[in-house]
Copies of this chain bind each other. A is one copy, B any other.
Amino acid sequence: MPNKKRSNCPLSCSLDIWGDKWSLLIIRDLMLFDKKTYGDFLNSNEKIATNILASRLLELEENSIITKNEHPDSKAKVLYSLTKKGIDLLPIIIESMLWANKYYILPVEKMAVLADIENDKEAFIKRKSLELQKAVRKVPTGR
């Protein structure tokens, strides 16, 4: 349960956990762009600050949305992965993308994944969730 729960409304409870400008972007990176390390997240287009990234990763881990695993090539690095609870944030991310795509002209490269989503949203969510859950089972538990 979040540390400072504002009410028993499930929306408020959700926002207590990931209601900021950055948490869902980290989840997006794990979900859609196959990013896995601190450095990967730092290099995303939105240019998250290191202190914000560190604090969000910790919060997401404390809320069982992501887990930390050993990096096969380096003891100094950590691989992050989504839990089932994290994967289940996919519909929220998809709906948020569709809303912005409807109301804003997003210039330059349109995300390729968006065409897939617009084509059949429910099928995309189902397929992607299964794919992500299979990946979860392959990750060695780090601790």
Q: Which residues of A contact B (CB under 8 A)?
A: 1, 6-17, 19-22, 24-25, 28, 44-47, 85, 88-89, 91-93, 95-104, 106-109, 111, 114
Contacts and interface: CB of A to CB of B under 8 A. Distances in A.
A87 B109 CA distance: 28
Contacts of A13: 100, 104, 106
5 contacts: A7-B46, A8-B107, A9-B25, A10-B96, A19-B24
Contacts of A28: 9, 11
Contact of A109 (B1, B8, B101, B107): B8
A108 B8 contact: yes
**DSSP majority for the A interface?**
helix
B9 A46 contact: yes
Q: How many copies does the complex hold?
A: 2
A95 B28 CA distance: 16
Contacts of A97: 9-11, 14
B10 A114 contact: yes
B103 A99 contact: no
B95 A91 contact: yes
A105 B1 CA distance: 9
Given A10-B106, A89-B99, A91-B99, 14 more contacts: A6-B21, A6-B47, A9-B45, A10-B99, A10-B111, A11-B24, A11-B28, A11-B96, A11-B97, A14-B99, A20-B20, A88-B102, A92-B99, A95-B95
